[in-house]
């Protein structure tokens, strides 16, 4: 894992979050949520700062980060694509949609494209089963997606600037 | 007191409320097999995550099988530990574990000592019906410990030891599901972590996932090198445990046989770390009196309490965790390093050979000693004072491959001059021993009077933290003792908060002290073994003709001929050290 | 809702929001203000109506007109026609598929006819961000009654008499749970609401929290009063931003009204509610795992006993109930145990919310009395199987449940009947499958889920499920053997029997139920190398029948991997070595020339 150096600003952000939760070890998950919300992901160096602030071991922090699928140590792509793999979506063909995304983006689940534009993930039931199979790009939800539409969805973002997915 | 009546394997049993099925069964001689479960009575150490599911038993009326280790008995409970359902389940679970385990038993470091292997044997596993993907991880080698996590069965014993007992916090379960494993953060190597190499993870690992670095090959090669003079030192705790490797009852003292075996292995001189322990007392005891004297004279600069410094894992622990307190522990080197330093100067001079041609091997109950002897400050021109530290277990292995019939060996004596020791040196091997040895000497040096007694029972025992006040002829000296780094942490935090009442504290990393070290024969969860070793140590002490370090004639001679006096400039140079901030 | 002449309720549930329901609201607001009607007509984003299949839904009050599949561009018509001219927009009304007649009001739609809404009573009727509307529908009346007229013992007795059982899956009697926690002596106790809904294909808790957050708050306060707790914690999935948002608003409002906080309603009873966030671990639905997660640890379950009621959060007595369970409480207090326990079956009282999904016409969230049959749910409420296909199986209980066949269609749904049939209630996912679904693949799908969600603490679940999944994969790839089928069964039984927590103990259910009910499909895979449903890619081939192929090139142009070759107007050919079996050609072909073998 390549070492990154955190800026003083980033370290201060982390410290502030920890302080907000009284630097209590039992608030670890809340701290991780908030820090990930601010920084986008939780690289090793960030976890080290959190461990220090909460006076716990970095192994424990890492153990928690790797336990919960919501936490990530890899920055997400500019446009994070998620395929719902809930049962309703599965029986309505989500797997075919997923494999089409994998094929077109040339990435596996959990990876980002080399240009950092897209990351691909699965999620479990967004609660839009009426629209199965469902794909989300950023906050935008696509319903009743067929494998043939995958190309168009990707194209929608490929030449786009970052802000679109975030605000959509 | 509430009692519970139940039936186990058709036998009626009456036990206290709150007893587990496992304990209740044990009471009537039914030994339900366990794997992840481990309980070290008296040391207050228990691991029962309920994860391995090997101890499952059938309980009448219950929907599923019950894990015996963590299911409390109920009134009228009917338990069958060997119903077909329980046996089949146990064997299937065992097959599952083995299906995710390398089958290189024949060449595994743990072969013959592996709880998993013996459980597979006990359960009569002859085939693994559920083959499939196996977990693969990078092998991690550090100066002391090898992690081969492919062999981890997630019993969580090491994790419990590292976090709850030692509070070192290097190991944690990581990931989830099939990918979960016990690892340092970010799967980094141990030598990048805050690991102290105390080796308690190794001591409790039921498989070959955690083992010590094997240096026996290097020692064998050196022994056959005619250009080298190879000498050996043996730590006090080794003689109280080595016999276990040769099927002797735990607590059998094998000092004489051990010396004989080492001589037959080809060591040119067989010396005793106990000698260096006596030397440590001279330096550390004088340092204590020195600090105490200045304190009593009103010197505000002086730091008290003084902490012992002979345990390398403890040293590494405070270097990582308490960098603001580096000036509190005694500056005295550990007995292993004092020995090496004296051997490669004083003794090499006596022999008239260069230090490069003298090889010092030490036999230690410890895996951290491997790391300690590699520390840069214990080298002169890159030549280490102690070349190799091998564990009690490695020594046993050396004896076995050399076709030595250990049990029929005669009893032999250590060589001189570095083989003579007192009872004070011997008790270094157990928790409380170092400070008792220090008291024996410090008292007489301070009061200039003879001690009225030699046994300080108030300093002995197995409680994790012990306190006692010793009357130095009108001067009350408050003494603290901690074994296990978690207990040490508590005393350190008291000091940090300015609340410590102690003048001197002895700290040992391993529960029980060196007798419970990470390099000792495996106790397989039986705390009784550690207690028996402790008894053996005190027995050896009581039999010694001289029981106070300052009365050791060879120590006196060493000061006369070479060092001058304790804390002399030469002593400082050869027998003392400094500590580093490792954060 | 007194100041306005009319209200337009728009479903703000996740499904409808995904279909631009917020934009519909914007458009409606715009047209209303254009015609100066914004003081007369209010537009509200409300909770899930349940009828997700036909979303987004717009409901007009007071006449109860129910518009389905509304698009932002329909806003103008709704305002111009319905609001101004007073006549419904016919094309947006629900059409009864049986006779094509338009149905104006929700109560006349088959989907709603057999439902009784207790937990979902307010969803789609109130603005979830306005406490007054909740109060307007008897909200916080139950709390007032409990605090001022009833002792905690009396409340617990009422809950016990109602026969309410936990809706999170286990079905433990709620009143009894409260009583046990009450009876444990401790100066600090906790009420925990489990809102870590993790079943793939279940979203009832989310809908309640999004559509009626106050009901959960009210019930938690009542629970705190009963067991002697002053703190409530909601453990909610971080993936539910809307639910979190609405819950926060609701907590703020309740505090403002003196219904939450110190000295509630002047009775001297104090209670506060805090949120804790889940982070994507299904196993945290298990109460001990949930508690460890709230303590900032890995969500690994621990052996019970001790139960949370004795030693839970921070080692203190803790009562854990799920969202739907809590949602029933105020109604039971208001209407009485005797009203509630008349609904349902002998051992399962009240109603159950199900997320009905899969190959069914009316996907949505439904609430039916216990004892309703699967047939009624699937055919009367669900409107039957999609595209006129054959019903094959219904899966209940999420990943821990089982797949039931035709022969169970007339089984009345309750906790015990479902278990007896080899499935379970679970949190209420109900997935319908048709003839195109391969049951071996379905079992494998669920195992994949458990495999990912297993915490890894105990061996049977950690390694056993991995092996089950490997065997199932082998079978779906055509490499299975008859011994594999035996191994599946033996291993499944052992995993059930030896796993530490409910996740592992129930994880083999999809395997066992498909083995029991669909053995012929397993045998076809293993013995004949065939997947009867045509789902297992390794076992199927797409081929072009040259007799039927017209050479239109449609398949050629759509094949994503270039596996199809052929000249225009000449029969095409699929290169099997390149074909990835995506089925696009099969779907595109207009001449039925492509067959699946």
DSSP character string of B181-242: EEESGGG--GGGTT-----HHHHH-SSTTEEE---HHHHHHHHT-TT-EEEEEE-TTTTTTG
Q: Between B482 and A146, whose confidence is greater?
A: B482
How far lies C234's CA from each of A128, C173, C231, in Å? 23, 20, 10
Q: Which of B163, B176, B185 sits opposite A62 (nearest CB)?
A: B185
Residue A166 has pLDDT above 80, yes or no: no
Residue of C nearest to B70 (CA): C303
pLDDT of residue B52: 97
Question: Which pLDDT band, with edges at 50, 70 and 90, does B31 fall under?
Answer: very high
Average pLDDT along chain B: 96
B32: distance to nearest CA of chain A, Å?
Answer: 32
CB B124 within 8 A of CB B91: yes
pLDDT of residue C1: 42
Per residue in C477-513, pLDDT (tens digit) is 999 999 999 999 999 999 999 999 999 999 999 999 9
Cis peptide before B305 (omega within 30 of 0): yes
Closest among B433, B473, B466, B428 to B452, alpha carbons compared? B473
Mutate to test the interface with B, among A1, A51, A63 (most CBs of B within 10 A): A63
Residue B471 burial (10 A CB sphere; 0-12, 13-18, 19+)? exposed
Residue C523 has pLDDT above 90, yes or no: yes
pLDDT of residue A87: 80
pLDDT of residue C200: 77
How far lies B125's CA from each of B154, B336, C468, in Å? 20, 45, 20
Residue C136 has pLDDT above 80, yes or no: yes
**What residues contact residue C435 under an 8 Å CB cut-off, 6+ apart?**
C389, C390, C392, C533
Q: Between A123 and B25, whose confidence is greater?
A: B25
Tokens of B346: 């004083």
Read off the pLDDT of each residue in C322-326 and give the average, rounded to a whole number.
96
CA distance B347 to B362: 16
Question: Which pLDDT band, with edges at 50, 70 and 90, does A165 fall under?
Answer: very low
pLDDT of residue A161: 53
Per residue in B263-318, pLDDT (tens digit) is 999 999 999 999 999 999 999 999 999 999 999 898 888 888 999 999 999 999 99
Read off the pLDDT of each residue in C302-319 and give the average, rounded to a whole number.
95
Q: In this prediction, what percent of chain C has a pLDDT beyond 70?
A: 99
- Does residue B372 carry a catalytic annotation? yes
Residue A163 has pLDDT above 70, yes or no: no
CA distance B504 to B288: 8
Closest among C429, C12, C27, C427 to C242, alpha carbons compared? C12
CATH pick for A8-65 out of 3.30.70, 1.10.10, 3.40.1000, 1.10.260: 1.10.10
pLDDT of residue B403: 97
Q: Longest Cα pair distance anywhere in chain C, in angstroms?
A: 86
pLDDT of residue B1: 62
CA distance C198 to C289: 13
Question: Which pLDDT band, with edges at 50, 70 and 90, does A168 fall under?
Answer: very low
Per residue in B63-98, pLDDT (tens digit) is 999 999 999 999 999 999 999 999 999 999 999 999
Domains and CATH numbers, chain C: 6-112 (3.40.30.10), 131-340 (3.40.50.11540), 351-434 (3.10.20.600), 439-527 (1.20.1440.230), 541-596 (3.30.70.20)
The kind and range of the H/E element at C392 are strand C391-396
Question: In chain B, which segments carry CATH 3.40.950.10?
Answer: 279-332+420-575
Residue B440 backbone phi and psi in degrees, to 5 = -55, -40
The answer to whether the CB atoms of B172 and A44 lie below 8 A apart is no
C296: distance to nearest CA of chain A, Å?
Answer: 5
Domain boundaries, chain A: 8-65, 79-167
CB count in 10 Å sphere of residue C360: 26
Per residue in A81-129, pLDDT (tens digit) is 999 888 888 888 898 899 999 999 999 998 889 888 999 988 877 777 7
Residue of B nearest to A45 (CA): B186
Across B419-510, where does the E strand assignment appear?
465-472, 475-483, 504-508
CA distance C91 to C151: 54
Q: Does domain B279-332+420-575 have CATH number 3.40.950.10?
A: yes
Using the Cα atoms of residue C485, residue C486, residue C489 and residue C492 in order, give the sign of their dihedral. Answer: negative
Bridge partners (DSSP) of residue C322 are C194
**What residues contact residue B463 under an 8 Å CB cut-off, 6+ apart?**
none
**What residues contact residue C588 under an 8 Å CB cut-off, 6+ apart?**
C554, C555, C558
B169 at the C interface (CB within 8 A)? Answer: no
How far lies B113's CA from each of A90, B108, B240, B533, in Å? 48, 10, 19, 19
Residue B394 has pLDDT above 90, yes or no: yes
CA distance C567 to C556: 9
Q: Which CATH architecture fits B3-122?
A: Roll (3.10)
Tokens of B349: 């001079």
DSSP character string of B171-192: -EEES-GGG-EEESGGG--GGG
The answer to whether the CB atoms of C279 and A129 lie below 8 A apart is no
**What residues contact residue B356 under an 8 Å CB cut-off, 6+ apart?**
B383
Q: What is the dihedral of CA C409, C413, C416, C419, to 10 degrees?
A: 50
CATH pick for B140-212 out of 3.30.1490.100, 3.30.565.10, 3.40.50.150, 3.30.70.20: 3.30.70.20
Bridge partners (DSSP) of residue B172 are B183
Average pLDDT along chain A: 88
pLDDT of residue B236: 97
Residue B578 has pLDDT above 70, yes or no: yes
Closest among B582, B517, B30 to B273, alpha carbons compared? B517
CA distance B203 to C523: 50
Interface partners of chain B (CB pairs < 8 Å, 3 or more) are A, C
pLDDT of residue C47: 80
Mutate to test the interface with A, among C11, C15, C282 (most CBs of A within 10 A): C15
Residue C290 has pLDDT above 90, yes or no: yes
**Complex ipTM tops 0.85:** yes
A66: distance to nearest CA of chain B, Å?
Answer: 5
pLDDT of residue A164: 41
Q: What is the dihedral of CA B327, B331, B335, B336, to 10 degrees?
A: 80
Closest among B258, B395, B385, B288 to B334, alpha carbons compared? B385
- Does residue B311 carry a catalytic annotation? no
Chain A residues inside the 8 Å CB shell of B173: 63
Q: Which CATH architecture fits A79-167?
A: 3-Layer(aba) Sandwich (3.40)
Interface partners of chain A (CB pairs < 8 Å, 3 or more) are B, C
pLDDT of residue C426: 85
What single-letter DSSP state applies at residue B481?
E
A143: distance to nearest CA of chain B, Å?
Answer: 31
Catalytic residue among B369, B370, B531, B548: B369
Closest among B349, B296, B339, B310 to B476, alpha carbons compared? B296
Per residue in C187-204, pLDDT (tens digit) is 999 999 999 987 877 888
DSSP character string of C40-76: TEEEEEE---S-GGG-S-EEEETTTEEE-S--GGGHH
Chain B residues inside the 8 Å CB shell of C451: 177-178
Half-sphere exposure of C117 (CA within 13 A, CB side): 18
pLDDT of residue A160: 66
Residue B501 has pLDDT above 60, yes or no: yes
Per residue in B397-453, pLDDT (tens digit) is 999 999 999 999 999 999 999 999 999 999 999 999 999 999 999 999 999 999 999
pTM: 0.93
Residue C169 has pLDDT above 80, yes or no: no
Per residue in C389-425, pLDDT (tens digit) is 999 999 998 888 899 999 999 999 999 999 999 888 8
pLDDT of residue A135: 92
């Amino acid at each position: 894992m390549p070492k990154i150096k955190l800026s003083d600003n980033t370290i201060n952000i982390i410290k502030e979050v920890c302080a907000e939760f009284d630097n209590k070890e039992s608030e670890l998950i809340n701290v991780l949520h908030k820090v990930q919300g601010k920084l986008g992901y939780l690289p090793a160096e960030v976890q080290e700062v959190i461990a220090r602030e909460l006076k716990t071991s970095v192994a424990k922090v890492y153990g928690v980060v790797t336990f919960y699928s919501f936490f990530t140590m890899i920055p997400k792509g500019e446009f994070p694509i998620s395929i719902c793999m809930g049962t309703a979506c599965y029986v309505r063909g989500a797997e075919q949609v997923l494999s089409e995304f994998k094929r077109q983006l040339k990435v596996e689940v959990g990876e980002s494209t080399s240009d950092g534009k897209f990351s691909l993930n699965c999620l479990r039931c967004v609660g839009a089963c009426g629209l199965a199979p469902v794909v989300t790009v950023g906050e935008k939800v696509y319903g009743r997606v067929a494998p043939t539409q995958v190309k168009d969805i990707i194209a929608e973002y490929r030449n786009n600037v970052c802000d679109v997915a975030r605000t959509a | 007191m509430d009692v519970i009546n139940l039936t186990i394997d058709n036998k009626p049993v009456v036990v206290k409320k709150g007893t587990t099925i496992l304990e209740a069964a044990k009471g009537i001689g039914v030994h339900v097999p366990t794997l992840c479960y481990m309980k070290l009575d008296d040391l207050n150490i228990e691991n029962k995550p309920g994860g391995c599911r090997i101890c499952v038993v059938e309980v009448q009326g219950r929907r599923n099988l019950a894990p015996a280790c963590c299911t409390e008995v109920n009134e009228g409970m009917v338990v069958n530990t060997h119903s077909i359902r329980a046996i089949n389940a146990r064997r299937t679970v065992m097959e599952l574990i083995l299906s995710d385990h390398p089958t290189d038993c024949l060449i595994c470091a743990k072969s013959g000592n592996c709880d998993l292997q013996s459980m597979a044997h006990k359960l009569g596993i002859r085939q693994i019906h559920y083959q499939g993907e196996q977990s693969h991880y990078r092998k991690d080698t550090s100066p002391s410990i090898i992690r081969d996590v492919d062999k981890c069965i997630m019993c969580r014993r090491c994790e419990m030891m590292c976090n709850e007992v030692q509070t070192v916090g290097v190991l944690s379960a990581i990931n989830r599901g099939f990918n979960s494993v016990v690892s340092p953060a970010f799967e980094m190597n141990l030598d990048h972590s805050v690991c102290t190499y105390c080796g308690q993870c190794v001591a409790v690992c039921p498989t070959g996932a955690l083992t010590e670095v094997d240096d026996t090959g290097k020692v064998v090669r050196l022994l056959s090198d005619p250009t080298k003079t190879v000498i050996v030192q043996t730590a006090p705790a080794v003689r109280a445990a080595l016999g276990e490797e040769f099927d002797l009852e735990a607590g059998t003292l094998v000092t004489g046989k051990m010396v004989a075996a080492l001589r037959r292995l080809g060591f040119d001189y067989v010396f005793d770390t106990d000698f260096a322990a006596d030397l440590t007392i001279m330096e550390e005891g004088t340092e204590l009196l020195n600090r105490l004297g200045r304190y009593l004279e009103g010197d505000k600069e002086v730091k008290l309490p003084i902490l012992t410094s002979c345990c390398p894992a403890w040293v590494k622990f405070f270097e990582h965790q308490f960098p603001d307190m580096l000036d509190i522990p005694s500056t005295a080197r550990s007995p292993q390093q004092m020995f090496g330093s004296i051997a490669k100067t004083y003794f090499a001079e006596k022999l008239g050979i260069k230090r490069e041609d003298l090889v010092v091997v030490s036999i230690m109950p410890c895996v951290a000693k491997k790391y300690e002897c590699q520390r840069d400050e214990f080298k002169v021109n890159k030549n280490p004072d102690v070349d190799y530290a091998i564990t009690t277990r490695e020594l046993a292995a050396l004896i076995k491959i050399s076709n030595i019939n250990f049990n029929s060996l005669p009893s032999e004596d250590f060589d001189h001059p570095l083989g003579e020791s007192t009872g004070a040196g011997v008790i270094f091997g157990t928790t409380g021993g170092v400070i008792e040895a220090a008291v024996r000497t410090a008292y007489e040096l301070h009061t200039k009077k003879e001690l009225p007694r030699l046994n300080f029972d108030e300093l002995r025992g197995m409680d994790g933290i012990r306190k006692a006040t010793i009357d130095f002829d009108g001067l009350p000296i408050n003494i603290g003792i901690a074994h296990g780094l978690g207990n040490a942490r508590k005393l350190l935090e008291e000091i940090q908060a300015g609340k410590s009442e102690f003048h001197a504290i002895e700290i040992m990393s391993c529960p029980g002290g060196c007798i419970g070290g990470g390099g000792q024969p495996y106790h397989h969860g039986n705390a009784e073994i550690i207690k028996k070793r402790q008894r053996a140590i005190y027995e050896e002490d009581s039999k010694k003709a001289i029981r106070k370090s300052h009365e050791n004639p060879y120590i006196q001679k060493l000061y006369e001929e070479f060092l001058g006096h304790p804390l002399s400039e030469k002593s400082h140079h050869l027998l003392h050290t400094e500590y580093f901030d490792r954060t | 809702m007194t100041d306005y002449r009319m209200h337009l309720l728009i479903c703000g549930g996740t499904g409808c929001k995904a279909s631009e329901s917020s934009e519909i609201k914007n458009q409606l607001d715009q047209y209303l203000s254009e015609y100066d009607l914004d003081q007369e007509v209010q537009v509200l984003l409300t909770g899930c109506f349940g009828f997700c299949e036909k979303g987004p839904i717009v409901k007009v009050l007071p006449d109860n007109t129910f518009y389905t599949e509304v698009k932002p561009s329909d806003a103008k018509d709704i305002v111009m026609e319905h609001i101004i001219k007073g006549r419904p927009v016919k094309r947006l009304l629900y059409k009864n598929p049986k006779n094509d007649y338009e149905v104006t009001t929700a109560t006349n739609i088959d989907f709603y006819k057999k439902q009784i809404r207790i937990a979902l009573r307010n969803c789609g009727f109130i603005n979830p961000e306005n406490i007054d509307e909740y109060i307007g529908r008897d909200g916080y009346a139950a709390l007032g009654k409990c605090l001022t007229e009833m002792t905690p013992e009396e409340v617990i007795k009422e809950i016990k008499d109602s026969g309410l059982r936990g809706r999170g899956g286990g079905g433990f009697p709620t009143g009894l749970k409260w009583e046990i926690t009450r009876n444990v002596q401790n100066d600090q106790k906790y009420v925990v609401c489990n809102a870590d809904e993790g079943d793939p294909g279940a979203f009832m808790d989310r809908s309640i929290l999004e559509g009626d957050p106050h009901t959960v708050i009210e019930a938690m306060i009542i629970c705190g009063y009963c067991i002697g707790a002053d703190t409530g914690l909601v453990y909610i999935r971080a993936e539910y931003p809307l639910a979190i948002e609405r819950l926060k608003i609701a907590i703020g409002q309740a505090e403002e009204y003196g219904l939450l906080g110190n000295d509630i309603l002047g009775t001297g009873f104090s209670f506060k509610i805090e949120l804790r966030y889940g982070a994507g671990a299904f196993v945290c639905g298990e109460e001990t795992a949930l508690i460890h997660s709230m303590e900032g640890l890995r969500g690994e379950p621990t052996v019970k006993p001790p139960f949370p009621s004795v030693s839970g959060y921070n080692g203190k007595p803790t009562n854990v109930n799920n969202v739907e369970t809590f949602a029933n409480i105020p109604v039971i207090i208001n209407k009485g145990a005797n009203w509630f326990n008349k609904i349902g079956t002998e051992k399962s009282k009240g109603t159950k919310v199900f997320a009905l999904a899969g190959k069914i016409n009316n996907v949505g969230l439904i609430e039916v009395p216990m004892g309703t049959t699967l047939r009624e749910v699937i055919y009367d409420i669900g409107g039957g199987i999609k595209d006129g296909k054959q019903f094959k199986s219904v899966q209940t209980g999420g990943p821990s449940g089982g797949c039931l066949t035709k022969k169970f269609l007339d089984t009345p749904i309750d906790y015990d009947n479902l278990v007896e049939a080899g499935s379970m209630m679970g949190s209420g996912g109900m997935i319908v499958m048709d003839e195109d679904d391969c049951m071996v693949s379905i079992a494998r799908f669920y195992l994949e889920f458990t495999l990912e969600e297993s915490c890894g603490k105990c061996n049977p679940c950690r390694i056993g499920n991995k092996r089950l999944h490997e065997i199932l994969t082998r079978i779906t790839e055509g490499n299975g053997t008859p011994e594999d089928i035996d191994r599946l069964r033996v291993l499944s039984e052992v995993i059930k029997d030896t796993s530490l927590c409910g996740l592992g103990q129930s994880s083999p259910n999809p395997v066992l139920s498909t083995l029991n009910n669909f053995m012929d499909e397993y045998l076809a895979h293993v013995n004949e190398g065939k997947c009867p449903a045509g789902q297992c890619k390794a076992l199927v081939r797409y081929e072009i029948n040259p007799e039927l192929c017209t050479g239109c090139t449609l398949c050629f142009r759509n094949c994503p991997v270039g596996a199809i070759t052929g000249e225009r107007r000449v029969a095409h050919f699929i290169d099997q070595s390149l074909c990835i079996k995506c089925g696009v050609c099969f779907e595109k072909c207009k001449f039925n020339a492509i067959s699946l073998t």
